[in-house]
Each structure stands twice: as C-alpha cells, then as structure tokens.
Chain A
Amino acid sequence: MSRWLGVSVVLLCTLLALALVGAMLVLPDAPVRLPGEVAQRLGESGVDHAVTAVLLNFRGYDTLLEVAVLLLALLGMLAAGVAPLRPAPFAADPLLVALARTLAPLMVLVAGYLLWAGAFRPGGAFQAGAVLAAAGVLLRLAGFLPAWNAPALHLRVLLAAGFALFLLVAAAGLYFGAMLRYPQPGAGALILAIETGLTLSLGLILAGLFLAGPETPRARGGA
C-alpha cells in the first residue's frame, strides 16, 4: 500500500470518527422508553432479572438464532479442518497442572452459581457457559483434556442439546399459541430448563472453539 493511500485512509477514518461523534451528539431522544416497558412487564416474564427476561422471554427469538449461529461457527471451524498447532502430547508446567486441578472444580461451581443467580441478579446462561468454557481451556492447557477434531457422538449430542431444547420449547409454543410465548405459571421453570441446556451447550461450543483442531491427520501422519 502506498504512502498516499495510507494517509488518505487515516484521513477518511478521522472523518468517520468526527461524523460518528457529531451524529451521536445531535441525536434526538428515543420516542420509546424501553427500561420502563421492561420493568412494567417483568412480573409476567417468569424471572426477576431484567436482562435475563429480555434474553430468554421478550427477545427470545434473537437468542434462539444466536445459539444457532454459535453452533454453525463451530461446525464451520471443524469443516475448515484446522491444522495441528503443537505436538499432541506436550509437557505442561507442573504449576499450571496444580492450578488447573484446584481451579477447574471451582469454575464449574461458579458456573452453576451464575446459572442459578441469573433468575434474579446479574448472571445467566451466557456468563455461566463462558466460565465453563474458560475451565475447558484451562484443562486443555494443562493437558487434561484431549483436543477434538471429530467430536464423538455423545459430544455432538451435547453440543446441539441446548439449541435443540430451546427450539423444542419454541416450537411447542407455536403449537399452543405463539412461538416462544411461555405458559404463565411455568415460565420460570421453562426458562431455567432452557438456560441449563444452554449453559452446557454454550460451554462446550465455546470450549470447542479452542479445543477443535490440534490433533489432526497431519500430526498423526507425521508420526
């Protein structure tokens, strides 16, 4: 890239920044007040935490499709056939091993707490899944977990379980009335069930983004 092209790109980006800042400063107030609306209907949602209510009830449709996107991303990664990263058996730092041994169970505990807390305070399936995935990454780095390029059947079932459960609930709602409209007395229990499935699947999918790959045919072919 020539110098002049670079300078013009920098200039254009500066203009973009100025335009964005200017637009935000003169933006008129929003005609609807979403926080008020959410607070008003929170009682019907089945949970007491507004963000969880939006995620799994008011805007459940977005969340459903978003989980599908995550699953697709992992499938795309597996399909791309990631090449080996490092030789399969590697000697992990003993300190890291000890740390992973201590931390991993605690992280699973924290994930369980976040899942349960999501109903009435900050927390929920996404954060819990993220913590589970972090535990998976830690265990992989310490050498406890094998890498997987072609997940076995039980792993595949678990990867898809959260999405499948969510889809099932959504479809059942379609049969009884409207999609993703939960029955009034059981909304809280249904949301908790969906969140539990999502936590497991999201944890596995997110960990899979890191675990997928390393031991591929090239590594074995070389041995």
Chain B
Amino acid sequence: MNAFDMLLALALLLTAWRALAASDLFKGSVLFIVFGLLMAIAWARLTAPDIALAEAAIGAGLTGALLLDAVGHLRVGRRPRAQGSTEDGA
C-alpha cells in the first residue's frame, strides 16, 4: 500500500459520495462512470486483471450507457407532464 492507493481510495469514496449526493441525475450518472473506471484501476492494483477487464467494459461502459439512457428517458418522459402540473414551478 502506497500513496497511490491512498489517493485512489480517496477518489473512489469521493466519486461515490458525489454520485449519490448529486441532485442532477445526469451528473450523478457521469460520476458513477468515473467511479467504475476508478474501480477498474483498483482491481488492477489488487492483481485481479480479469475483474479489471470486466469492470472497465461492464461497470463503466454498459452500466453507464444504461444509466444515461434512463436519464434521457426521464427527461423526455417528464416533459409532457411538467406542463400540466405546478410541481416544478416552471
């Protein structure tokens, strides 16, 4: 364990926290993709190249695509209703 591991651990915890705390879901999803890529590096540090490969392709790539897709759907899906309701005060 060295300074790099410390930094990586800090970055992991920080991105995870920011991804959860972000009020904008698009921002949260992008931060989660960053988190996935950092996880891939963590797996490499743990001498687990198999998991690092899978995490980079799946954890960051595929999950990110799915999440961003859902965010896009959310924005399109909400628009018609937003006009009819006063909830958002728009």
* Contact flag (A, B; Cβ within 8 A): yes
Residues of A whose CB lies within 8 Å of any CB of B are: 51, 83, 85-86, 114, 122-124, 126-127, 130-131, 133-134, 137, 141, 206, 209-210
Q: How far is the CB of B43 from chain A (nearest CB, A)?
A: 11
Q: Are A130's CB and B76's CB within 8 A?
A: no
Query: Could you name 25 residue pairs across A and B whose Cβ atoms are closer than 8 Å?
Result: A83-B73, A83-B77, A85-B72, A85-B76, A86-B72, A122-B50, A123-B50, A123-B53, A124-B50, A127-B53, A127-B54, A127-B57, A130-B54, A130-B58, A130-B61, A130-B62, A133-B58, A133-B62, A137-B61, A137-B62, A141-B65, A206-B62, A209-B62, A209-B66, A210-B65
A137 (CB) vs chain B CBs: closest residue: B65
Task: List A contacts of B61 (CB < 8 A).
Answer: 130, 134, 137
Top 6 A-B pairs ranked by shortest CB distance? A130-B57, A122-B49, A127-B53, A51-B50, A130-B58, A122-B50
In the bound complex, how far is the Cα of B74 from the Cα of A86, in angstroms? Answer: 11
Most buried by A among B49, B65, B77: B65
Q: Are B76's CB and A86's CB within 8 A?
A: yes
* Chain B 40-90 residues near chain A, CB threshold 8 A: 49-50, 53-54, 57-58, 61-62, 65-66, 69, 72-73, 76-77
What total count of A-B pairs have CB within 8 Å?
Answer: 47
Residues of B whose CB lies within 8 Å of any CB of A are: 49-50, 53-54, 57-58, 61-62, 65-66, 69, 72-73, 76-77
Q: Are B50's CB and A134's CB within 8 A?
A: no
Q: How far is the CB of B13 from chain A (nearest CB, A)?
A: 10
In the bound complex, how far is the Cα of B53 from the Cα of A83, in angstroms? Answer: 32
Q: How far is the CB of A77 from chain B (nearest CB, A)?
A: 10
In the bound complex, how far is the Cα of B61 from the Cα of A162, in angstroms? Answer: 23
Q: How far is the CB of A9 from chain B (nearest CB, A)?
A: 13
